[in-house]
């Protein structure tokens, strides 16, 4: 089956670095996405990995290891506005022979940034 695991909650301090981990199990993996979601709002796209390695975008970086079924999102120089839920999502090519752009989401990691 398909399974995505990420911690439920994390707390970090303003200015610090935090790493949010995500592990997944799927047979037809074709990309991993990270989204940020503030309370009551829609998810906002942060990053996408399909090959192994690190993708960097400003204060945000995302890493993928396909052999380990593992990804992490790294947030540097934390700001109060980074307090949000971070969603890990995997695209599974098994659906509809690859014709579907279905994302399978984890339950999200609620990050609280403290002063």
Partner 1 sequence: DAGVTQSPTHLIKTRGQHVTLRCSPISGHKSVSWYQQVLGQGPQFIFQYYEKEERGRGNFPDRFSARQFPNYSSELNVNALLLGDSALYLCASSLGGAGAETQYFGPGTRLLVL
Pick one of 19, 100, 112, 114: the residue that binds partner 1 (CB under 8 A).
100
Structure tokens at 6: 């990420």
With CB under 8 A as the rule, give the number of residues binding partner 1.
Answer: 28
Structure tokens at 75: 């947030």
Pick one of 53, 58, 99, 115: the residue that binds partner 1 (CB under 8 A).
99
Structure tokens at 84: 């949000």
The reply on whether position 52 binds partner 1 by CB under 8 A is no
Closer residue to partner 1, CB minimum distance, 96 or 115? 96
Contact at 8 Å (CB) between 110 and 10? Answer: yes
Round to whole Å and give the CA distance between 61 and 33. 12
Which 3 state secondary structure label does DSSP give 95? helix
Judged by the rule CB under 8 A, the positions of this chain that interact with partner 1 are 4, 30-31, 33, 35, 41-45, 48, 50, 87, 89, 91, 95-96, 98-108
């Amino acid at each position: 089956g398909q399974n995505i695991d990420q911690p439920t909650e994390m707390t970090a301090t303003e200015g610090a670095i935090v790493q949010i981990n995500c592990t997944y199990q799927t047979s037809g993996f074709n990309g991993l996405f990270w989204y940020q979601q503030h309370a009551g709002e829609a998810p906002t796209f942060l990053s996408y990995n399909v090959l192994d390695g690190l993708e960097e975008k400003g204060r945000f970086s995302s890493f993928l290891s396909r052999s380990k079924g593992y990804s992490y999102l790294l947030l540097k120089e934390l700001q109060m506005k980074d307090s949000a839920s971070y969603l890990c999502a995997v695209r599974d090519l098994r659906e509809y022979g690859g014709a579907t752009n279905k994302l399978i989401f984890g339950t999200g990691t609620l990050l609280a940034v403290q002063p």
